[in-house]
């Protein structure tokens, strides 16, 4: 019998992780944007933090999506590091329905331990979108972002009692567990990929732990009438 996460005690085991070159894919149009339109206005990192907080307080999209305030405080966000805007966006612009280990109020930095797994995750979710409208004729470009991690995360690998959190069709159990872990001060979750056998993913709950972010290869995914896209590496 698989118990619901809320009834489990203790929490999943912690694993000390040192992982370099983790892979995250985002639409290229977002990766090409500058870190922040506010940056040229700021005198230093402290001033930039104040401007960002003021911008959040008056940003209609954030106010509408998060009921008056984002699900993460400005004190948790990062400033003055490469691609800080992209890092912060992963936490402040969550999908309304959330994802596997976050709800609609607070996002997380999702990444894979290898590029094949990152591509499998993106291809699955994008293909579902096309299946919903019965349309498989499109081309989308993605930029890979590499990041390094050195911290202890809760580890679901080999944890059968948390199998419900890896349900391919439901995020209910996994979001419940994520809420418990966040309240307990967790740094995030290491978990097996549901979309690629043998793949491993990380959902990092804390922006400050997303280290050394830099651009990797870019990819074009092209659907030509079938659910399986052609994957092309773009030359820089």
In this prediction, residue 46 carries a pLDDT of 58
Q: Is residue 229 part of a domain?
A: yes
Q: Is residue 163 part of a domain?
A: yes
Q: What is the pLDDT of residues 64-81, one digit of tens each?
A: 334 444 688 888 999 889
In this prediction, residue 212 carries a pLDDT of 97
* Nearest residue to 224 via CA among 127, 128, 150: 127
Q: Is residue 62 part of a domain?
A: yes
In this prediction, residue 67 carries a pLDDT of 41
Return the SS3 of 141.
Answer: strand
In this prediction, residue 97 carries a pLDDT of 93
Kindly state the DSSP code that residue 18 receives in the 8-state scheme.
E
The tokens describing 86, both together, are 């992209």
Q: Is residue 207 part of a domain?
A: yes
Report the 10 Å Cβ neighbour count for 187: 20
Provide the whole-model pTM.
Answer: 0.84
Number of domains forming the structure of the chain: 1
The tokens describing 150, both together, are 């050195």
Q: Are 178 and 165 in contact (CB under 8 A)?
A: no
In this prediction, residue 71 carries a pLDDT of 82
Q: Is residue 8 part of a domain?
A: no
Q: Helices marked H in 66-216 — which ranges?
A: 84-92, 115-133, 172-183
In this prediction, residue 30 carries a pLDDT of 80
Q: What is the pLDDT of residues 16-50, one digit of tens each?
A: 999 999 999 999 988 765 444 455 444 555 555 55
> Which residue(s) pair with 110 in the sheet?
203
Q: Is residue 71 part of a domain?
A: yes
Residues of the chain under the 70 pLDDT cut: 1-9, 32-70, 236
Domain that holds residue 87: 15-234
Q: Is residue 5 part of a domain?
A: no
Q: Is residue 4 part of a domain?
A: no
Q: What is the pLDDT of residues 90-106, one digit of tens each?
A: 998 888 899 999 999 99
Cβ partners under 8 Å of residue 155, min gap 6: 12, 13, 14, 15, 189, 190, 191
Return the SS3 of 61.
Answer: helix
């Amino acid at each position: 019998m698989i118990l619901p996460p809320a009834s489990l005690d203790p929490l999943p085991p912690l694993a000390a992780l040192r992982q370099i070159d983790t892979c995250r894919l985002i639409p290229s149009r977002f990766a090409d944007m500058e870190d922040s339109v506010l940056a040229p206005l700021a005198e230093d990192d402290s001033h930039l933090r104040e401007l960002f907080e003021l911008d959040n307080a008056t940003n209609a999209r954030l106010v509408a999506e998060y009921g008056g305030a984002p699900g993460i405080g400005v004190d948790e966000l990062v400033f003055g590091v490469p691609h800080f805007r992209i890092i912060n966006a992963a936490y402040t612009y969550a999908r309304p329905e959330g994802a596997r280990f976050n709800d609609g109020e607070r996002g997380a930095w999702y990444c894979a331990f290898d590029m094949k797994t990152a591509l499998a995750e993106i291809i699955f979710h994008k293909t579902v979108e096309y299946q919903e409208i019965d349309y498989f004729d499109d081309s989308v470009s993605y930029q890979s972002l590499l990041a390094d991690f050195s911290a202890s995360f809760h580890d679901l690998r080999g944890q059968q009692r948390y199998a419900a959190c890896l349900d391919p069709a439901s995020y209910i159990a996994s979001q419940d567990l994520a809420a418990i872990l966040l309240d307990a001060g967790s740094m995030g979750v290491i978990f097996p990929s549901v979309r690629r056998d043998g793949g491993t993913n990380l959902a990092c709950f804390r922006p400050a732990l997303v280290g050394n972010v830099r651009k990797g290869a870019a990819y074009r995914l092209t659907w030509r009438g079938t659910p399986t896209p052609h994957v092309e590496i773009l030359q820089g």
